[in-house]
Amino acid sequence: MLIFTSIISFLKDKSYRNLLFRTNFFIALGTIVYHYIKVWPWLDSLYFSATTLTTIGYDDFSLQRDLGKIFTLLYTVVGVALILGYLNSLMLHFYMK
């Protein structure tokens, strides 16, 4: 029950909702770009986007073309900042209330 009340309190916070929207939008953007640049299936593109943003990088997919590498550099820099903001928001929610 505690998890549901936490989720509801998060969704009531406007800054958290905006951050959640931006993060999901950015993952969707990466998924679309990787799908068309690498011609990967949608699930593989989503998987690569998520592992790139979380800096896990299992190294089971690789980029060969320069366009994909350049996009990934930019995607990682902006995406990691979004993910860190998201994690900071979670920490502040639990420790400041």
How many helices and strands in the chain, by DSSP H and E? 4, 0
Contact 51/57 with Cβ under 8 angstroms?
yes
Structure confidence at residue 36 (pLDDT): 94
Residues 13-36 pLDDT 10s:
777 788 888 888 999 999 999 999
Assigned fold of 15-95:
Helix Hairpins (1.10.287)
Contact 68/38 with Cβ under 8 angstroms?
yes
Residues 72-86 pLDDT 10s:
889 989 888 888 887
Q: Rounded to an integer, what distance in angstroms lies between the CA atom of residue 40 and that of residue 85?
A: 29
To the nearest 5 percent, what fractions of the chain are helix, strand and coil?
Answer: 80, 0, 20
Residues 40-71 pLDDT 10s:
999 999 999 988 887 777 777 777 788 888 98
Instruction: Please state the pTM of the whole predicted model.
Output: 0.76
Question: If you compute the radius of gyration of the chain from its CA atoms, what whole number of angstroms results?
Answer: 15
